[in-house]
Amino acid sequence: MAEVGPPIDLPVLDISNPHDPAAGKALLDAATKYGFLYVDSRGTDFTAAEVDRAFELSKKFFASPVEEKAACRIEPNNRGWSGMHSETLDPEHQRTGDFKEAFNFGEFLPTGKAQQPLPAALAPHESEIAHFAALCNKTCERVLTLLALGLGIPPTFFTTRHALPSPSPSFPPSTPSSSSSPSANPEPRGPTGTILRYLHYPSLTHPTTTTYNHALDVRAGAHSDYGSITLLFQRPGQPGLEIRTPEGGWASVPVIPNTTTPIASTDPTLPEKQPEGEAESGPESGTYPFPPILINIGDLLSYWTDGLLKSTVHRVVFPVAEQRVPNARDRYSIVFFCHPMDRTELVPVPSRVVEEFRERVKVQADGGEGEGAGMVGFGGGAGQLGEGKRALTAHEHLMARLNATYSFRKEEDA
C-alpha cells in the first residue's frame, strides 16, 4: 500500500464576498495547487444549528430499520439509499465494496418538494432538507463565481451552466443587466446531476465491519469526484479523508484545520475538546460555528480548464488511531455534489489563464500533446468520446462514472 504521510495543510478561505478579485485569485491558486481547500464557515449562509440539524436527520435515517431504507433503494437516476458494499469506487484495487451506506437526494423543486420517494424517517422533514440543499447551492454559486473571477472569464460563466437559482439579495449578481446573469433567466434551464448525500461509515466495532481487512479494505475507495465542485460537511473527532499527493502517496486531511479554535456547536454529542492531532490556535482566529466546509474540484471543472484545476484523487479510510479504540465511533458526513446541466458540453473555458497553462504544459512536454487531456479526470473521469468526435456532455460523463461504481448497474448489464 502507498505510504501515508503527515496531515496536509490546506488554506482556509473567506468566500463571504463572491465579487472580490483577491478572493477569486486565492481560490484559483488553491484549486490549482491542491484541488482541495477549506471554506471559513463564518462566511457562509449556514448556521451551526442548521448543520447540526442536518446531521441529526442523517443519523435518524441510518438508524431506521433496513426494510424502511430498502423501500427507497437507489435507482439508475442516482437517487435513493445504497447499502453496505453496494458501491465500489476503486474497482481496480478493492477486494470488496465500500464500507459505507448512503442516501442521495436529487434536485428539489422550487416549492421544496422532492422529486423522489423519501423514507419514513425523512419524509416529515422534506422542507428542512430542501432548505439545506438550497444553502449548498448558494455556496456553490459563490465558489463558481469566484473561480470565474480568478480565471478572468465572465463571473456567470459557470453559474449559468449549472442552472443555479437566482441570487438572493445578500448575493447580488455582478452584472444584473446582463442577459447571461442568472437573475435575467428565471425559467428552469434543464436538469442536472446535482446530489445532496448523507453518508454513514460504521466503526470497526460495528457488526457490519466484521469482514474488514486493514491491508485491503477502505471506507471509500480511491476516486475523483464526478461533477464540478463538492462540498463536504464533517464532524469533529471523525477523521478518515486522505488525498493523493503528487508523489503518489497519501496525506490525511484534518476535519479541523490547524489554524482553528474550538468549534462552537449546538450539537451536544460533539467532543468538548479538540480531537488529538487537530490543533487549536489563539483567540485571534475567532471561533468557527462548525468545522470549515471542505471543497474539492471535480472532473468536470478540471476538464473545463484543461487540467489547470486539479480533480484530486481521494479516499476515506479507517484511521489507525480508531483501530486502537475499543469503542470507536461511527463516521458521518454530508456531501453536496454540484453538477452542471446535463446538456452542457465539456469544452475548455475561454480563459487566458487556461491558455497560458496549456502552453506551459506543451513546452514541458517538448512539443507533445502535453498533460492537458491526461490531467482531466485523472481519477477516472471521461473527456472526449474519441479523436475527432464531439465533447462529452455532463450527463454522458456522469452516467459513465456511475456505471463503473454501482454493483446493481453491473448486474443489470450482465
Kindly report the three-state secondary structure assignment for every residue of the chain: CCCEECCCCCCEECCCCCCCHHHHHHHHHHHHHCCEEEECHHHCCCCHHHHHHHHHHHHHHHCCCHHHHHCCECCCCCCEEECCCCECCCCCCCCCCCCCEEEEECCECCCCCECCCCCCCCHHHHHHHHHHHHHHHHHHHHHHHHHHHHHCCCCCCCHHHCCCCCCCCCCCCCCCCCCCCHHHCCCCCCCECCEEEEEEECCCCCHHHCCCCCCCCCCEEEECCCCCEEEEECCCCCCCEEEECCCCCEEECCCCCCCCCCCCCCCCCCCCCCCCCCCCCCHHHCCCCCCCEEEEECHHHHHHCCCCCCCCCEEECCCHHHHHCCCCCCEEEEEEEECCECCCECCCCCCHHHHHHHHHHHHHCCCCCCCHHHHCCCCCCCCECCCCCCECEHHHHHHHHHHHHEHHHHHHHC
Query: Residue type at 361?
Result: V
Identify the pLDDT of residue 286: 55
> What share of the chain in percent tops pLDDT 70?
68
For the chain, domains (ranges, CATH) are: 4-170+186-268+277-351+395-413 (2.60.120.330)
Residue 65 banded pLDDT, cuts 50, 70, 90: very high
Identify the pLDDT of residue 76: 86
pTM here? 0.80
The C-alpha atoms of residue 226 and residue 223 are separated, in whole angstroms, by 9
**348 versus 196: which is more confidently predicted?**
196
Which of 16-20, 126-130, 166-170, 207-211 has the least mean pLDDT?
166-170
Residue 103 banded pLDDT, cuts 50, 70, 90: very high
Identify the pLDDT of residue 73: 93
pLDDT of 75 > 70? The answer is: yes
- pLDDT tens digit sequence for 170-212: 333 333 333 333 333 334 467 898 999 999 988 876 555 555 5
**285 versus 250: which is more confidently predicted?**
250
Identify the pLDDT of residue 384: 46
Identify the pLDDT of residue 202: 85
**49 versus 375: which is more confidently predicted?**
49
